[in-house]
């Protein structure tokens, strides 16, 4: 069985697909969303992440690094130079911390091991109509590993969903489609230039993949819109999104509200998000987007 890079497994999840589910988060993503709430999912390699609330700024981690990745930021706090981090075998920085304030994000996992873990909740899936959801990062970023996990679910009779940003090779997407029961297709910004500026990638491939899946297997596709105040909630973006759904014949969307829980993670990764949306606006922004879409004939969940 092949091995892949995973950064989390959550059991008893109820928001990403029907019923009770096990979520498997694969590490690595082609997008760099300016507001990402899981920035630790982006790099396709293991990395250390501090928990700022526990960190005493003692710099023991920085001093322990064999790659010399320790450096000071402008405030004198402990910062690891991510360019120099070699993801050393024993994660010396993690071992050295006296406050348990830094951990390794990302582990190699065997597809068989994960399938065994997924299988443990088979009774819950059966009784709730649930299954497994492969998320990320971007799960199609590790196509062979994902393919093996999907095939394993199929052979075990476990419902399999994939949460995707859609930026994936079309041939791979279509080749794996028969093993996927549900695509949770996350869209953000429809304007090509804005998409490029805010995620680091053009959205041409994403929209093309969305159209293809919506025409090939509409019953398997759930469109999702991440509602980010000041970014994806504009009248133009919401209208363009409604237009896209009408074009593809999908009349329902799941709205995902922005939450600020990822901001501490950016600090812990010694990175600064390109955007810090105003969390206080998330609820009103969501309500406004829902109203606009409903007026345009789109049903919102």
Residues at the interface with ligand SF4 (CB under 6 A) = 48, 50, 55-61, 64-65, 67, 69, 78, 80, 85-88, 91-93, 96-97, 99, 101-102
Contacts 24+ apart (CB under 8 A), 82-87: 82/47, 82/269, 82/270, 82/271, 85/47, 85/48, 87/45, 87/46, 87/47
Which of residues 61 and 250 has its CB atom nearest to ligand SF4 in the complex? Answer: 61
Which of residues 40 and 186 has its CB atom nearest to ligand SF4 in the complex? Answer: 40
Backbone angles phi, psi at 47, to 5 degrees: -155, 155
Which of residues 62 and 115 has its CB atom nearest to ligand SF4 in the complex? Answer: 62
What span, in angstroms and rounded, lies between the C-alpha atoms of 172 and 190? 23
Minimum CB separation from ligand SF4 for residue 66, in Å? 6
Q: What is the DSSP letter of 262?
A: G
SS3 259: coil
- The alpha-helical segments, DSSP class H, found in 135-234 are 143-156, 170-176, 192-199, 204-216
Minimum CB separation from ligand SF4 for residue 96, in Å? 6
Which of residues 57 and 196 has its CB atom nearest to ligand SF4 in the complex? Answer: 57
Minimum CB separation from ligand SF4 for residue 115, in Å? 29
Backbone angles phi, psi at 155, to 5 degrees: -70, -20
Minimum CB separation from ligand SF4 for residue 268, in Å? 9
Which of residues 32 and 99 has its CB atom nearest to ligand SF4 in the complex? Answer: 99
Minimum CB separation from ligand SF4 for residue 135, in Å? 25
What is the 3-state composition of the chain as percent helix, strand, coil, each rounded to the nearest 5?
A: 40, 20, 40
């Amino acid at each position: 069985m092949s091995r892949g890079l995973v950064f989390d497994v959550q059991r008893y999840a109820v928001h990403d697909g029907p019923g009770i589910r096990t979520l498997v988060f694969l590490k690595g993503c082609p997008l760099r969303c300016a507001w990402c709430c899981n920035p630790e999912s982006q790099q396709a390699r293991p990395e250390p992440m501090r928990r700022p609330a526990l960190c005493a700024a003692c710099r023991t981690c920085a001093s322990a690094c064999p790659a010399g990745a320790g450096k000071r930021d402008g405030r004198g706090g402990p910062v690891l130079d991510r360019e120099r981090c070699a993801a050393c075998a024993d994660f010396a920085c993690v071992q050295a911390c006296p406050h348990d304030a830094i951990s390794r994000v990302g582990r190699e996992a065997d597809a068989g091991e994960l399938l065994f873990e997924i299988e443990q909740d088979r009774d819950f899936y059966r009784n709730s109509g649930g299954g497994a959801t492969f998320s990320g990062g971007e799960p199609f970023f590790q196509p062979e590993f994902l393919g093996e996990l999907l095939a394993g679910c199929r052979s075990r009779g476990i419902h399999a969903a994939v949460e995707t940003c859609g930026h994936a090779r079309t041939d791979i997407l279509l080749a794996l489609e028969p093993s996927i029961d549900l695509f949770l297709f996350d869209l953000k910004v429809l304007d090509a230039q804005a998409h490029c500026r805010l995620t680091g990638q053009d959205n041409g491939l994403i929209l093309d993949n969305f159209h293809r899946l919506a025409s090939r297997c509409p019953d398997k596709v759930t469109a999702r819109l991440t509602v980010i105040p000041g970014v994806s909630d504009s009248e133009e973006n919401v209208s363009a999104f409604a237009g896209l759904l009408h074009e593809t014949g999908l009349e329902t969307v799941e709205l995902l509200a922005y939450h600020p829980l990822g901001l501490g993670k950016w600090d812990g990764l010694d990175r600064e998000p390109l955007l810090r949306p105003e969390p206080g606006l998330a609820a009103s922004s969501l309500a406004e987007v829902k109203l606009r879409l409903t007026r345009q004939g789109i049903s919102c969940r």
